[in-house]
Amino acid sequence: MTQITFEDESGIQTAEIRTDRDGAPQLILRGDSDKPETETETDLPVSIVYSSPAGSYVMSGDSTLVQEFAASNRCIGGRAFFFANPAIIELVCQEIEKIVQIDPQLTVLNLNCRTGFWSKWAAKKINQLIAVDKNEENLEDFLLNLNDFDNVSIYLGDANQILPNLPEKIDLVIADGDSEGLSVAEIQAIAATAAQTVIFLCKDGSAFSRDLARFSNGPYQIKTIVPYDEMPQTAALSALAILEKKRTKKHG
């Protein structure tokens, strides 16, 4: 049996094992120091990346890996989110396409685009994709993943500052709430776009419920909720909600 051990003074707090589309392993070591305070010896064909708040440091092999699912490939660095259960994401994509009409003329906003999976998924099907993210550390991976698309633009910053100044009319919003959900300002900024449909994804049940209530207090109503197990063998359960603009009652 192969074991991974770390000395107490190594500064390594957690370790995560990932595999790419070909099954090649990558070991992500996480700690607080800028660089690992340990040397690495291994006879295994494995990439090793040390990740800290200061950035990533390649100790062995490659800095990124490629996941392939939902007819798309995705390059991700050591600090980016890894889809532990890509097969379920493929089913989520299929479910969305059953419910939402993805018209080739649409202009889609991807809020909190991160490394660009949902941007890439949508960009293949629509006229224009506008991506917004407040975290610059995802930019390199995003540009790598969307390099072949000429209908994609990305803005870095807070949604409440960027969205009101977009010159384009937004038809559909894909909002990734991750595990913390969306802020009040982000939900208000989405509402201000007057998009007809919002696809909202979240990895935390309480944050998901809270944000649905906030959406429902505004101009949107819930059309569909789809729970899915994105992180198997954990207590976490992700969910997808599709919301539509409320119909204005006519008087007369």
Pick the residue with more confidence: 5 or 102? Answer: 102
Q: Which of 224, 234, 233 is nearest to 204 (CA)?
A: 234
Q: How confident is the model over 124-161, as pLDDT tens digits?
A: 999 999 999 998 988 999 999 999 999 999 999 999 99
| Average pLDDT value for residue range 75-87 | 79
Greatest extent of the chain over all pairs of C-alpha atoms, in Å: 79
pLDDT of residue 82: 77
Q: How confident is the model over 10-66, as pLDDT tens digits?
A: 677 777 777 877 777 877 778 887 777 666 666 667 877 777 777 777 777 777 878
pLDDT of residue 43: 66
| Average pLDDT value for residue range 109-130 | 96
pLDDT of residue 40: 65
Tokens of 223: 């059309």
Average pLDDT, the chain: 88
3-state secondary structure of 85: coil
Q: Which region among 109-113, 140-144, 191-195, 234-238 has the lowest average model confidence (pLDDT)? A: 234-238
| Average pLDDT value for residue range 242-249 | 89
**Global model pTM greater than 0.75:** yes
* Residues with Cβ within 8 Å of residue 143, at least 6 apart in sequence: 154
3-state secondary structure of 82: coil
